[in-house]
Structures are given as C-alpha cells and as structure tokens.
C-alpha cells in the first residue's frame, strides 16, 4: 500500500500541530489526511506538506474512511470517539489518559514493548509524557539488572498543561518585570519563578494523579509490577521539556560506568555526562529533539545497588506526538495495518 488514510483529532492543539510537523519530517506514508477538532476550531486552515487543509468538526461519522487516527483532544473526547473510530475500522493511537489502564488496551513505548501492539482491539494508548522519557532510559538497564525501586522527582514544563499555561507563564514574567500585580488562572498559584508541587488532582493517598500515573504506567509498560515506585511531580516555570531526577535501586550492584555503557547503545537515549565540562542534559538544549537525554549518572550513596540519574526530554515531542507516530510506523513496517 502506497499510503494510509490518516486522521488527527485535536489537530489545532499543541500536540496536534506537533503530529503534523513530525509526520512531515518523517515522510509518513499518507494517501489522505483529515483534520478534526471541536466545533470552535472547525473551519480553521492548517498547512501540511505545502497544502492547505480545512479543520472539520469531530462527529460520529468522521472515521468511516480512516486507517490510522491520532487522538490528542482530551480524555472525554477520546472516551466518546475512540471506540466509534475503532468500530469504523481505524486504529486509534490515543494520547489522552482515557485508555492507559484499560486491560484491553496496550500501553506502548516502541523502544520497550512494541510486541504489545499486536494485542490491540482498535485502540492503542500513548503513555504519559513524564513516564515515556523515564522508561526509555530505565528499561535497557532493567533488562541487564532488574530494578527493585524507583524514587522520582519530576520538574515538568508548563507546555504539558497546554497553550493557556504557556501564555500564563509568559504573561506573569512580563507582569513581574513591570512590577504589576501577577494574575493566575491556569494554576492555583503563580507559576513564574515559583515551582508548584501539584500536577493533576490529589488522591486520597496524598499523591497526585500524575504521580500515580508514573507508578501504574511504569508497571504496565515494563511488565514489571513488582517494582516499587514513588514519585513527586512538580510544575516548574519552564516552557518546554520535562526534567527528572531518578534514584534507581537495582537487584545487583552496578557501577556508573556500566550504566553509561548500556545507555550509550540504547534506542532513543543520548548520554550527556561529563561533569568536568559541566555537560549534562538541559531543557533548553533538548527542546525539539527526539531522544531521552541522560546525565549526572552516579552512585546513590543512600542505598545498596543504587544509581541516581538526570533525564530530560521534550514532553510534547517524544512525550506525546513522536511516540504515537513511532507506534504507527511500527505497525506499517510490520504489516499490522
């Protein structure tokens, strides 16, 4: 087949726009492209590969002639339209949280568990951005030396909340510099110059839903439900890229040099780790890049068999759009669609 009938749901959003950018960059085999969004965005014009497309309102009849549908329009939209698209014959690759913990829906990072794609029943879930970048770096190590415990602190960019949050940070910086009163609408507190240790809603456990996602999704993706995981997720005044400090307790002793050796050949990982030259991953350098960048690899002196590392990746790119496109590419290359 020379090309596939592709749809993007949420085409005018930040991730939807990144879908278009990546599909064009990677020369994804498209025979026809349909762009869908809410009724508010219907009629907007979007360019792809030099051609102009009109965004249509998403309806129950939108998916009759679609092979692959990339969804990034929120949980409620996915819960309603993804099953309809699947029944219409499309394979849905969904970027929301709607299906990630559904036992009937594979949760996939292609560098880790591409074999799970074959288990789909019309819907494949894209993991949370903070989970994706971490497991890409951890799984190659886990295969060599099983992981027992993870303690994670994430520093997550405002782009993970969407364009209104990007605008809010930008406006608050301007207000601060001008000496004006700082106004907040997206977050419960000022985000400019002020990390907020609250992402998504709080659960009865005292953890947030974002933190619990990292626990549940790590288990499901890596097929390693015995790993103990504790996460603290923090929204920080950074526009792009999530950064994570991860303490890993392995089953057996492992040296930092061995960790570097494994990660230097791991798919989707780039090691930047030379403290003598102040070389380690930075959000400003990783924006727009595909990989998970790893540095500050060192022994965890607080526990036996422990390693601490610093992981940075573009949350909109690998953390969302690129991972979904890679799932589609894997299906095409392996004759699964």
pLDDT per residue over 258-295, tens digit each? 999 999 999 999 999 999 999 999 999 999 999 999 99
**Cα gap 30→23, rounded to integer Å:** 9
Q: Is residue 113 within 8 Å of residue 223, measured between CB atoms? A: yes
Residue 327 pLDDT class (50, 70, 90 cuts): very high
For domain 4-127+320-333, give the fold. Answer: Rossmann fold (3.40.50)
pLDDT at 300 over 60: yes
Q: Could you tell me the CA-to-CA distances from 129 to 56, 202, 242, 285 in Å, in that order?
A: 27, 19, 8, 18
Look-up of token digits 């097929």: 223
% of the chain residues with pLDDT over 90: 99
Beta strand 51-54 pairing with 45-48: antiparallel
Catalytic hit among 120, 142, 233, 242: 242
pLDDT the model gives residue 2: 78
> How much is the pLDDT for 278?
98
* Strand ordering across the sheet containing 123-125: 56-57, 30-37, 4-9, 68-71, 91-94, 123-125
Tell whether the model's pLDDT for residue 296 goes beyond 90.
yes
For residue range 181-196, list pLDDT tens digits in order.
999 999 999 999 999 9
Residue 310, sorted as left (phi over 0), alpha (psi -120 to 50) or beta, turns out to be: beta
Region 131-315: CATH code: 3.30.360.10
Give pLDDT tens digits for 116-172. Answer: 999 999 999 999 999 999 999 999 999 999 999 999 999 999 999 999 999 999 999
User: Is 283 in contact with 315 (CB distance < 8 Å)?
Assistant: no
Query: Is 303 annotated as catalytic?
Result: no
Give the confidence band of 105 by pLDDT, cuts at 50, 70, 90.
Answer: very high
Tell me the mean pLDDT in the region 245-265: 98
Exactly one of 120, 129, 142, 286 is catalytic; which is it? 129
Can you tell me the mean pLDDT for 40-58?
A: 96
Q: 3-state DSSP call for residue 247?
A: strand
242 tagged catalytic: yes
- Quick one: which of 240, 229, 57 has its CA closest to 160? 240
| Token pair recorded at residue 19 | 């879908």
Residue 31 pLDDT exceeds 70? yes
Residue 1: pLDDT above 70? no
Tell which phi-psi region holds residue 129, choosing left (phi > 0), alpha (psi between -120 and 50) or beta: alpha
Alpha carbons 99 and 81: distance in angstroms, whole number: 12
Strand pairing report for 147-156 and 228-235: parallel
| Domain edges within the chain | 4-127+320-333, 131-315
pLDDT value at residue 205: 98
């Amino acid at each position: 087949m020379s090309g596939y009938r592709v749809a993007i749901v949420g085409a005018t959003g930040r991730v939807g726009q990144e879908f278009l950018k990546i599909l064009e960059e990677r020369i994804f085999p498209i025979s026809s492209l349909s762009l869908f969004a809410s009724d508010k965005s219907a009629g907007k014009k979007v360019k792809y590969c030099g051609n102009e497309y009109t965004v249509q309102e998403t309806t129950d009849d939108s998916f009759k002639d679609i092979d692959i549908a990339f969804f990034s329009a929120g949980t409620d939209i996915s819960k309603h339209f993804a099953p309809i698209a699947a029944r219409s014959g499309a394979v849905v690759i969904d970027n929301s949280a709607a299906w990630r913990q559904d036992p009937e829906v594979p949760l996939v990072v292609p560098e880790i568990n591409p074999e799970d794609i074959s288990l789909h029943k019309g819907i494949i879930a894209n993991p949370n951005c903070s989970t994706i970048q971490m497991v890409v770096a951890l799984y190659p190590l886990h295969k060599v030396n099983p992981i027992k415990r993870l303690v994670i602190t994430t520093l997550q960019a405002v782009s993970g909340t969407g364009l209104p949050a990007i605008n809010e940070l930008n406006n608050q910086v301007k207000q601060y510099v001008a000496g004006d009163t700082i106004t907040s609408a997206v977050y419960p507190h000022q985000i400019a110059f002020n990390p907020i240790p609250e992402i998504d809603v709080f659960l009865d456990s005292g953890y947030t839903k974002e933190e619990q996602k990292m626990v549940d999704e790590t288990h499901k993706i890596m097929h390693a439900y015995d790993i103990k995981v504790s996460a603290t997720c923090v929204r920080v005044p950074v526009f792009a890229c999530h950064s994570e400090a991860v303490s890993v307790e392995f089953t057996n002793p492992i040296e930092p040099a061995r960790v570097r050796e494994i990660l230097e050949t791991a798919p989707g990982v780039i090691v930047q780790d030379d403290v003598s030259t102040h070389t380690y991953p930075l959000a400003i350098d990783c924006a727009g890049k595909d990989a998970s960048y790893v540095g500050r690899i060192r022994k965890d002196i607080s526990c036996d068999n422990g390693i601490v590392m610093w992981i940075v990746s573009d949350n909109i790119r690998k953390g969302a759009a690129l991972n979904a496109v890679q799932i589609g590419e894997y299906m095409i290359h392996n004759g699964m669609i």
